[in-house]
Structures are given as C-alpha cells and as structure tokens.
Structure 1
Amino acid sequence: MSTWSQDAEEISREAKASKLSGRVHIIGLGNAGTFIAHSLAARQSPPPITLLMHQASFYQTFRRKKRSLAVNYNGLDDNRTGFDVEILEDKVWRRIPSREEQHDAQEEDEMYENDQNFHEEEEGHIECLIVCCKAYMTEKVIRDVRHRLSPNSTILLVQNGLGIVEKLNRDLFPDEHSRPHYMQGVLSHGLKKQDSYKIGHVSVGSLILSPVVTSHTPLIEAERDTHWAPTTKYLLRLLTLTPSLVATADTPAGLLQYQLERLTVSSVLGSLGAIHDCKNRDLLHNYAVSRTMRLLLLEISSVIYALPELRGIPGIEDRFSPERLRRLVINVAANRPEDASSLRNDLRYQQNTEIDFLNGWIVRRGEELGMKCVLNYMIVQLVLSRMQMISQREASAVPIDFENVILTGDNTKDD
C-alpha cells in the first residue's frame, strides 16, 4: 500500500476516533477557494465537500458547468466533481446533493425547481469551514452560518490582510467560551481566473497554515500552553497531506511573519496601484513613486518592530527592516509586472476594498502602540476618496431612455 493511501486511511481513522464526519464546508469560490476545493476533490480518498453559495444564481452557473470545478495545468483542464452544494434561500440553507447521491431518475432541473426536494440543513453542524472570500465580506458570510458553528468547529481563513479574526470575535463571537477555533493560511500559488469555476495554475507555490492564537502577548510564550481542537488537527492534517496544495504547517509566530510580508506588499503595490490606476510595471523606475514607497515602508517597519506578538523572536530586525521590505516589494513588482492589484480591480467594479485590513490595520496597530502612521492613514483616505469619486461619477451619469429616442428618418406621425 502506498504512503499516500496509508495517510488517507489514517486521516479517516482519526476523524472517526474523534467522532467527526470529516466534511469540509467552503465559502468563496474565487481563485483560492476553487483551487483548494479542487485539490481536496483530487485526493485519492477525498473528504465529503460542501460548497456554500449565497445566491441561487451562483448554483445555476455551477450547474451549467456540469457541477464541476476545473484547474488548467499546462494547458490541460483537470475537472473534478462530487461536490455537495448548499444554497441560502430565505435565510435557510438548502442542500443539493452531489450527482453521486442522486440515485433516482429525477432530473436535476426538476429537483432544483421543486423546493420540496431540497434537504433543509438549517441545524446542520459545521465542523470545518474554509473561508476564501475578500476580507471585508468575511463577517457577513460567516454571520449566515454562525448558528451552525460551535466551540468544536474550526474556521480556516485564507485571505489577504490582517485584523479579520479580531473583527469576528468582536462582532460575531464576543464570548470566548462559545467561539469556534481559527486557522489562517497564506496561499502563494500563481492562480488566474479563466472562466466561472475554472482557473489556470500559473506557478507552483505553497499554502502555509497555522492555528491562531488570539492574543497580543508574545506568540512564542502563548504557543507553549495551547492544545488544538480535534477539528483543527483534522483540517490541518487533511490539507498538509493534499499533494497539489503543497501545504505546510507552521507556528502562529511563523505564519504571522508571512502574513506581515504579504500585507506589506499589498499595502504598497496594491494601494499605490489602486490610487494611480496602474499595473505593477508602472510603479517601477519612477522616482516619485520610489520616494512614496520608502516613506510608507519606514512606517510599516516601525509598527512591525513594535508588535508585542513578535517580541523575543530572533531575526525580526533584519527580516522587517525598511530596506529588506523595499527589496521584497520591488522583486514582486518586477516578477509580476502585468499584475493589477485586487484593490484597483475592486475600485473599477465599484466594489468595497480590503484597504481597512491592509494600510488600515497598520494605522490601528500603530495607534495602539502610541504611533501616528500619518502616511498610511493618508493612503487609506486616498483609496476611500477615489472609491467615492467613482461612485459619484457613475451615479451622476445621464441615463439613456431608449424608448423615447426618435431615430433619424423616422419623424412621421400618425394623424
């Protein structure tokens, strides 16, 4: 028996021993969510997977794609099926089973059109929830499943930005004894959307995972007395043994450092790209932009140095020095010159942005530490002002009333 098969059987035995169903629920089928769901389905022994969709229209598109998720590797599509789907309708989650569960001869269209054929999952407990939506949407989407989560549940957040866990604890789970457990991940695979529920795998990266310690005390001290929940252990083992994810487990302190590097790049390239409405290449070899980057990085570096979570960890001064962060940002821009930041795309499509979880997080943590991050505060306000200008411009656009347009050469009237 292969090692892979043995690992799959061991995961299954551990889940049964902990009285877990092993089911994984996933919210957010953008690039990251699609890749993770597809990778889990590609396992030799895939776990039961449920895709949570907040609109029926999402499922209709998914059904037209033959209920499959596709990842294009080197020009070849790899399609995976077998997903259960739950749709939120009238504040009730309704389940549509995978094709494998549909043993009768009833057509799926008929099953979808007749509400009586849905299986209501209103009280269905969620053990492992993977959330891959934008940071600003996280609180809303988790609110819809809050009643299905318990202190035995584990939520994995794979997103850009920081401060999300603190917001969830403040707004959704204020009682620390009843809140679920958290994990966070940093995904570095190169992914590009090609179609609905289809992405291209551009470059191999990794998924770095760690349970979350919700404390601003030094993480190297908080880690020593922490015991992970069964659902946390199960999800961590499941993902790290899924080959295509190239996932590794790290300590909370180790993960935070990767998150801070990612946040730094997004707070500089992402924010400046959104403000200037440009791609990464346009931010290179521009003296004015370079000066702005250096000043931003001085503030960001100062805040990171002062974080109590990182106290006592060796090498922080070198890893997060302004010069080392500058080289990191420049390397990303040079290696991905045609990339446009998600902040820029959000503004173009008049969507909310993650700015509060990027430069906004730097500003908030700086204030907590007695530091005024005026440059990062200015960047936040510039992005917000640009968003407001775009919205006002669109709202003031003169609509065209096609019904009352008189076409040239058609000026005759009936008597």
Structure 2
Amino acid sequence: MEAKAGPTNVEGEFGAEAEVQDSGQNDSFETEGLQRSLSAIDRQYAAQPEQPRRIHILGTGSIGKLVAHSLRGIANPPPITLVFHRYRLLEAWEQSKKQITIQDDDFKVPRGGYDVELMSEVRRQHGVELENGQPSVYDFPDEVQPHEAAKILEQQRKENAATQHQELGAGGQAPLSPPQDGKKRRPGRGDYAMSNEPIHNLIVTTKAAFTIPALSAVKHRLSSNSTVCFLQNGMGIIDDVNKQLFPKEADRPNYVQGIITHGVNVPPAAAERDPFFAVHAGHGTIALGLLPRSGIKQTTITGRKDSDSRDVKTEFFPPSARYLLRTLTRTPVLCAVGFTPTELLQQQLEKLAVNSILNPLTSLLDARNGALLHNFALTRTMRLLLAETSLVIRTLPELQGIPNINTRFSAERLETLVISVAHKTRDNVSSMLADVRAGRRTEIEYINGYIVRRGEEVGIKCVVNYGIMQTVVGKCMITQREAQDAVPMETGLNP
C-alpha cells in the first residue's frame, strides 16, 4: 500500500510555516465569491505566498524566555532572534551555552538554536527622542527647565527633518540651545551584534512601561507589512505606541494583542547563575486577537445587525499577521487561541479589573495575593475600586451594543473574579510587588491609570483608582531612594 503524502515542510528564512498542505487545497480559494462565503477561520488558514519566517523577540524576561523556548520546540521551528537591550546580556550569552532552560516541575529542558542581536542605543528624555550628537535636556542654562528644553530639542529635530537634515544658517538656531559639539557616536563593544535588517514578525514581552523605549530602537526596521505581537499586562500601550512612534496610520505595523495567563518566574539565585533560566510555575493560555488598523470602534460592532466573524474581509489578515498567529497557535505549550477583536477586548478588561485590585493592594501591603482574602476592611477598599472600574467599563463607547455587558462587567461579578484569582494564586507574589521591592518602575499607569484615563474620556472621575495609583508610584519612589542611598558592602573579605 502506497504511503499517503504528508504535509510539506519548508525550511529556511522564507516560506510558509510547517504543515503547508498541497496545492489542491488552494483551489477552494480561487473565486472571490466562494472566499467570502467561508468563515474568517477558513480564510486565516488558507495557503499564503512566501512569508519571512524569522521571529524577533524583544524582551528576554520570564515570558520572553518561555515563548522563545516553546517556539523552538515545535516541528519545523521558525528561526528565532533574541533582541537584547543591554550589552551585559549579550556578553553573558556569548559566555554561556547559548541555551534557554525552562524548568517545569522537576524537569529542566535546555533548548538552543537561537540567534541574538543587540538593540541600538536610543536616548529618550522627557518623552523626546534625541538624535546622535544632540545635547541633553540638562545641558541647557539653569533658567530653562528640562521639560522646556525637551520641547526646544523636539522642535529642532522637526526642523532638521523638514530641511532634510541640512545645516541651519548662522542665526537659525534657537538662542537658548547649547552649542552642538558635532561628536559622532563612538564604536561600541556590541556593534557587531547590531542589525538594520527589516523585522517582519516581532513579539514584545517587555514591561509595559518600557515598551516605548524598546520599540524606539527598532522602529526603523518595522513597516506596514510587519506584525507586532504584544504579550504584556495592562492596557493603553498601543495607544501610546501610535502616538509617539507611529503617528501616521499608513506607516504603522499590524498589531496582535495577547493576554497571557501562564505563570513564569525567575528565582533570584538562579538569575545570578544563569540569566537565561526560568521556571514555568503555572500552565495557562494565551488569547490572541488581530486588531483593526483603525482601532476598535462602536461602528465596528453595531454598524450592521447581521455582522459577525463571516463579514471580516480577507485584507483584515495581512500575511505576516497570519503567519505569526498560525505559529503561536500551533505551539502546544503556549495553548494560544485566536479571538475576534471585540471578544479579546472584553477579556482584556476582565483581566485589567482583576489586576487593578490584586497588584496595587498587594504592593502597598507587601503581602502575597492570599492576604486579601477574609479581610473585610480590604474588601471595602476592593469594592470602592471595583465600583469605579465597573462603571467606566460599562460606559465605554466601543462596548455599546454588545449584549450582556452590564452583567458581565457588574461590580459583583468582577469581585467574584478577583476573589477567585486571589484564591488560586494565594501563595504568589504579584509582579507589581516584585517590582516595588526591587525599586523598578511598575505598570500601574497601564492598569489603574488606564481606568482613570478612560473614565475622564466618558466623564467619570475615578478618585479611588487615582489615589491608589499615586500611592503605588510614591512607594516605588521611596524604594528607589533607599536603594540609591544604600552603601554597598562586600562580605567574605579576609581580616
């Protein structure tokens, strides 16, 4: 009996991902009328032309290591490039076995085959990106405040771009600007690992607060044909990316939003021995959704009564986005599932509501998640926060017209979700508490801060969320100052 021909595997930088079926399957997609009759899922998994397979991962924290490790474990894995933000990480990689190790229970699985890059240095001060040779905001005279100097430098940068970087005349320079020294950037030790090659598929796993600086270093390598997948906590990140990095819609890459529930951590002792080690403590899922280029609007939901997933146009799934979604969803460890943008938004808001309680309260109390249970004084605080959050979410214009919204996002149901998550993770230390203890910047601006901003847009003053947010920021500043004032001590010295 003749063996049946199996899937065709395509190796190398280009080509469709694994399990590309034979050309006979493509016949069902030749006519436009038949293609429209198929569901969005059928069109998503239709064969597509050659697509660059390399995936860049920006952010080598716990989630970044898990995603990179999982992608290299599938059949016909895609080429993976780890983008380091510090030379010390690159140096540690070169001196290591060049492997990422993930521990699951008592099993440690090392996996290699990665390429690495070092992102270029980008100076950002007071929200302004400074070019090479441009002075710092602190080089101005004392009477000019740093934020005012940033505005002057930003205006100069725009003028230079408008005149194609030609030198200004003798009297064209702003009078308060310090003289340009004309120094060029000196060669760095990690220049050999830098690249300017285009990035077609990018997964961002950095902390939300560091997304803008991280993407600033690679934005010139992204185009409208690229796809960026955000696997981060919080909401409102993409709005800031569009405002600061891609103000023109035609130049923006395609965005895939992800909600990850996997529990991954790096023990401090293990991080010192091996910075490419992580523990997969809790198995979860990843909810993925391709966002419309113009964003989710009310007309997208209520524009037509019979609108559903079948009305999604084929152009809605660009080739790079299709490839990235296919690759992530065929990775068993990640358990990734695709959703429509509207359903993904609702899941994001549910997770945001839970994080807006657990993260800030545990950070302020310096306690594990289970400490919030069976404490009526904390329950009162929780209910004040959830009352604001519930009202804001139920008033959002992009959710109007969706049935059962008032029930799904009622304060009572959100409280049930918070208690359930707190009970399941009662022994865990929240990521925000870990950041506060270490004196790092938290994601509070993209959690409770997002609720405050959206509340202002719909005319609701979220004073409780604002107060909690500012208190967390203040506690983090206290920790930072204590760390700066600490005197380093060396132990084990001979008398």
**Bucket of the pairwise TM-score, normalised by the shorter protein:** 0.7 to 0.9
Q: 1:325 aligns with which of 385, 404, 414?
A: 414
Residue 9 of structure 1 aligns to a residue whose secondary structure is coil
Are the structure 2 counterparts of residues 9 and 396 from structure 1 closer, same or farther at C-alpha, using a change threshold of 3 Å? closer
Q: Which amino acid aligns with 2:211?
A: T
Partner of 1:342: 431
Partner of 1:9: 19
For the 8 Å contact 2:118–2:190, the answer to whether it is kept is: no
Residue 460 of structure 2 aligns to a residue whose secondary structure is coil
Partner of 1:220: 301
Are the structure 2 counterparts of residues 275 and 12 from structure 1 closer, same or farther at C-alpha, using a change threshold of 3 Å? farther
> Please, what is the CA RMSD of the aligned residues?
2.7
For the 8 Å contact 2:118–2:194, the answer to whether it is kept is: no
Give a deviation string over 1:125-180, Cα, whole Å, max 9, x none.
00010000100000110000010000100000000000000000000000111111
Partner of 1:364: 453
Q: Which amino acid aligns with 1:245?
A: L
- Paired with 1:159 and 1:148, the residues of 2 have a C-alpha distance of 21
For the 8 Å contact 1:15–1:22, the answer to whether it is kept is: no
Residue 2 of structure 1, CA deviation? 6.5
Partner of 2:281: 202
Q: 1:74 aligns with which of 93, 105, 108?
A: 105
Residue 353 of structure 1 aligns to a residue whose secondary structure is coil
Point out the more displaced range, 291-300 or 310-319: 310-319
Q: 1:121 aligns with which of 183, 188, 195?
A: 195
Partner of 2:404: 315
Q: 2:329 aligns with which of 240, 244, 250?
A: 240
Residue 248 of structure 1 aligns to a residue whose secondary structure is strand
Q: Which amino acid aligns with 1:220?
A: I
- Paired with 1:139 and 1:133, the residues of 2 have a C-alpha distance of 10
Q: 1:176 aligns with which of 231, 245, 249?
A: 249
Unaligned ranges ≥5, structure 1: 92-112, 408-415
Q: 2:260 aligns with which of 187, 190, 205?
A: 187
Residue 31 of structure 1, CA deviation? 1.7
Are the structure 2 counterparts of residues 11 and 148 from structure 1 closer, same or farther at C-alpha, using a change threshold of 3 Å? farther
- Paired with 2:349 and 2:86, the residues of 1 have a C-alpha distance of 33
State how 1:16-415 maps to structure 2 within 5 Å.
Answer: 17-88=48-119, 118=192, 121-122=195-196, 124-194=197-267, 195=270, 196-213=275-292, 214-218=294-298, 219-221=300-302, 224=311, 227-396=316-485, 399=487
For the 8 Å contact 1:186–1:208, the answer to whether it is kept is: yes
Are the structure 2 counterparts of residues 79 and 326 from structure 1 closer, same or farther at C-alpha, using a change threshold of 3 Å? same
Residue 371 of structure 1, CA deviation? 0.6
For the 8 Å contact 2:439–2:483, the answer to whether it is kept is: no
Unaligned ranges ≥5, structure 2: 11-16, 24-44, 123-187, 304-308
For the 8 Å contact 2:62–2:266, the answer to whether it is kept is: yes
Residue 17 of structure 1, CA deviation? 4.9
Residue 32 of structure 1, CA deviation? 1.2
Q: TM-score with structure 2 length normalisation? A: 0.71
- Paired with 2:415 and 2:90, the residues of 1 have a C-alpha distance of 43
For the 8 Å contact 2:199–2:222, the answer to whether it is kept is: yes
Partner of 1:104: none
